[in-house]
């Protein structure tokens, strides 16, 4: 078994989760109408719970993208795998053809574990380990 560690920035996956659970409303009432009381803001406890839920959803989306990336590699669907990578990761890897040649002798990859680091609304770093089968 070969340990394959790859630092991936999966900004595209995180972009799906930007604003999860947030909404805005457009009031059509007259600005001078004070008859309707303002809606109280969420309690600090409820806001923390909502933030935790959004963070969990982002982490799940990132892990799905990582699994999708390696599933695409194993299926030899290199276009889909390349499209999972963020522009900054593509810049670090070089051209598509150079990156593609790196998988010339890879038969399959399988994820055993994904550790996420520096998760934000725009990007995350994933340390991925698992066996790589080469010929």
pLDDT at 133: 81
Low-confidence residues in the chain, pLDDT < 70: 1-42
Residue 11 pLDDT:
39
pLDDT at 38: 55
**pLDDT score of 62:** 86
Query: Residue 122: its pLDDT value, please?
Result: 77
Say what the alpha-carbon torsion angle 60, 61, 66, 68 is, to the nearest 10 degrees: 120
Give pLDDT, residue 99.
95
Q: What is the pLDDT of residue 18?
A: 34
pLDDT of res. 107: 85
């Amino acid at each position: 078994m070969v340990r394959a560690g790859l630092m991936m920035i999966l900004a595209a996956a995180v972009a799906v989760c930007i604003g999860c659970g947030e909404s805005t409303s457009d009031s059509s009432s007259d600005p001078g109408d004070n008859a309707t009381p303002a809606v109280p803001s969420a309690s600090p406890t409820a806001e923390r719970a909502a933030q935790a839920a959004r963070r969990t959803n982002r982490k799940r989306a990132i892990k799905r993208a990582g699994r999708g990336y390696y599933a695409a590699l194993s299926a030899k669907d290199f276009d889909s795998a390349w499209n999972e990578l963020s522009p900054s990761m593509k810049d670090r890897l070089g051209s598509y053809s150079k990156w593609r040649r790196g998988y010339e002798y890879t038969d399959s990859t399988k994820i055993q574990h994904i550790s996420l680091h520096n998760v934000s609304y725009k990007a995350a770093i994933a340390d991925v380990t698992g066996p790589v089968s080469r010929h």
